[in-house]
Amino acid sequence: MSKTCFVYIVASKRNGTLYVGMTNDLFRRMWEHREGLVDGFTKENGVKHLVQFEMHEDVNAAIHREKRLKKWKRQWKIDLIQKSNVEWDDLYEKMTAPMPLPEWLVQANAAERR
């Protein structure tokens, strides 16, 4: 079965509580975590900062990876996060942040105002 899925780790804060999950819509799922729309572990523990994710083209592979990560020792998960996100930045915020205007457009707008 081929459908893009994401295995992700969310955290309450740097080195805080961690949660491993899987979804076929990363933006929707992160919004749900952030807004506390789903009762359970993440809502109860304030776990809503996306700190690591992987994309999988096969649902079964994603399910397998999620199950394996959930069994990992905490330090192994922290090491995985640290490899690609040393500062524990919220990747959802980075992915949804407004893009700056291209420099040519900034200059054209400035010239128009003169």
Secondary structure class of 84 (helix, strand, coil): helix
> What's the rounded mean pLDDT across residues 15-44?
95
Q: Domain range for residue 65?
A: 2-113
Residue 111: predicted pLDDT: 76
Helix (H, G, I), strand (E, B) or coil at 2: strand
CA 82 to chain centre: 14
Q: Mind listing the pLDDT tens digit for each residue in 61-81?
A: 999 999 999 999 999 999 999
The CATH number assigned to the domain holding 32 equals 3.40.1440.10
Tally the domains of the chain: 1
Distance CA(21)–CA(38), nearest Å, equals 13
Question: Over 70: is that where the pLDDT of 2 sits?
Answer: no
Question: Which residues on adjacent β-strands are paired with residue 55?
Answer: 6
On the question of pLDDT at 92 being above 70, the answer is: yes
105 Cβ contact partners less than 8 Å away, ≥ 6 residues apart: none
